[in-house]
Structure formats: C-alpha cells, structure tokens
Amino acid sequence: MNKALKWLGIITTIAMLFVLIGGALVTKTGSGMGCGRSWPLCHGSIFPELTLESIIEWSHRFVSGTSGILVLALAIWSWKKIGHIRETKFLAVMSVVFLILQALLGAAAVVFGSSALIMALHFGISLISFASVLLLTLLIFEADSNEKSESFHIGKTMRFHMTGIIVYTYIVVYTGAYVRHTESSLACLDFPMCSRVKGWAPSQFHEWVQMGHRAAAFLLFAWIIIAAVHAARHYKNQKRIYWGWMISVILIILQAVSGILVVLTRLQLSLALAHAFFISCLFGVFCYFLLLASRYRHQSKTKH
C-alpha cells in the first residue's frame, strides 16, 4: 500500500483531533464570538485586530478548513486505492458529509446565533467525522495486513455491548456538550455530591444539567467495566476485542478523573481539554467495535 496514503491518514486523523480539541477550547474560553458575526472572515477581514478570543476562533477556523481539505483528499484517495473493501466508500462519504455539517453548524451559530441544544450537536457531529477518518485510516493499514481476513467470533452478548454502548456514549457526549454550552460546568462545585452544604440533590436548572451528566457518565463507566470483564473472560484469544476493551477501561478512568478534576480545580483549562480528548479517543475505539460487529454480521450472512 502507498506509504503516502498511510501518512495522509495519520495526519488527517491528528488534524481532526485538533478540530475537536480546538472546538472545546473555543467553548471553554468563550471565544465563539471572537470574530463577531462574520464568517468565513474574522470581523470582515482576513487579518483582523488580534485579541485572545479572535486568535482562538480564527485558529479553530483555519485548522477546520485545513482539515476539510485533508479529509476530502483522504476520502478520494482511499476510494480509489481501497474502494474494494466493503466499508471504505461508506466511511469516505461519512467523513466528508459530517465535516461539512459540522462546518455549516459552526458558521450558522456565528452568523445567526444558536441555542445550547443545537450547539451541543456541534461537538457530536465533529466526533462522527473524526471517527470516520480514524476508521478509514485503520482500513488503509489493514489492507497491508492479514487482520481483516482473519475469521473471528462475536457472541450475542458482546454484540449487544458493542452496538449499544456507542449509542449510549453519544448520548453521554451530548449531555457533556450541553453542560458546556449552558455554562453549567461549575453549577455543582463538589463531587460526588452537588454541594456539601445542600447535599447531592440539584435545586435549579444548571445543577440538574450537571448532575444529569454525572449520572449518565457513571452508567457509562459501569457499562464499560461490565463489558471489559466479559471480554477478559471470553475473548482473551481475540486480541482486537480484548485489548480494545482494556484500552476502553483506561480511557474511561482517565475521562472520569479529568472530569472530576475539572470541577475541583474550577475549570482548569488543560484538564477540560484533556476531558474532550479522552472521550474522543474512547468514541473512536467504540466505532471500531461497531465496525467489527458489522463485519461479523456480514461474515455470518455470507456463510449461510
């Protein structure tokens, strides 16, 4: 396989991670209106007057635009080189379509304004584009190995975990983005309770948003541990499944710790960005699980 295509896949995947982290940085620093109501220009100019907010917003737009070119190049090149692989064309289309949707949603928010409910989708849509690029890159590397051709078995319980957990993770991601866009990150200043004085129970909207996200995240944590134990018991000989779940456990622990520290440090920026990074990686792992489940279903159908 062309080495240049592999490098393009790696660079594009990293670029999409920067788009996700950059979006989180824009939100966390309140830089969404750093360029005013102007798009794609910044305050109507290519070289605007520089403030911290305009630099952050303008940089995010630049990275997103550059990533868009890379994603389009990767999609076209992959289509030509490994279009014979069943998942390639679907992932190529997904990566481009969801990147365009993400850009349009971001532009609309700047020009017309948008509600927190809609803006919370912005991160989720970017996440799908990132996952599509990641899987496309994995396909490129798989094309040079014999991993894809290896037969494997995924039982009914594991298929439930693989397909169910990605849907639930997306819901949890949405609640986290909603926390950011409703400015509810510090609605509850303690952990695990909302307040040591008032107790765990929320008393107003922003506290409900924060505690709702914590409850959803706790259930995700528990689900991952249960699925990982199942993988350790029954899938130790299938390295992709076994190690995928072990990596998921590490990522969800890092995700939980960073989330707790975000609250206890009163929104320390590097921790907030780490929180976005870990969930992006975790979602990528779960998308790979979904790919494996889809392959197994296809493999089972072709045998009958």
- Domain spans of the chain, in order of start: 1-150, 152-304
**pLDDT tens digits for 183-207?**
899 898 888 888 767 766 788 899 9
Res 195: pLDDT:
78
Rounded to two decimals, the pTM is: 0.91
Q: Judge whether 213 is annotated as a binding position.
A: yes
- Stretch 14-25: mean pLDDT, rounded? 94
Res 194: pLDDT:
87
Res 37: pLDDT:
82
Res 146: pLDDT:
58
Beta bridge partners of 42: 45
Q: Judge whether 275 is annotated as a binding position.
A: yes
Say yes or no to pLDDT of 161 above 70. Answer: yes
Question: What SS3 state is found at 151?
Answer: coil
Res 118: pLDDT:
79
- Stretch 102-127: mean pLDDT, rounded? 82
Whole-angstrom Cα distance, residue 167 to residue 125?
13
The Cα angle at residue 128 between residues 82 and 19, in degrees rounded to 5: 100
**pLDDT tens digits for 64-80?**
999 999 999 999 999 99
Name the percent of the chain lying above pLDDT 70.
Answer: 95
Res 31: pLDDT:
81
CB atoms within 10 A of CB 45: 10
**pLDDT tens digits for 243-296?**
999 999 999 999 999 999 999 999 999 999 999 999 999 999 999 999 999 998
CB atoms within 10 A of CB 121: 17
Say yes or no to pLDDT of 148 above 70. Answer: no
Catalytic residue status for 87: no
* Cβ contact 95:13 at 8 Å: no
- Stretch 116-125: mean pLDDT, rounded? 83
- Stretch 115-141: mean pLDDT, rounded? 90
Q: Which of 49, 57, 147, 150 is catalytic?
A: 57
b/e per residue 196-229 (b: at least 16 CB within 10 A): eeeeeebeeebbbbbbebbebbeebbebbeebbe
- Stretch 126-142: mean pLDDT, rounded? 95
Say yes or no to pLDDT of 116 above 80. Answer: no
Say yes or no to pLDDT of 9 above 60. Answer: yes
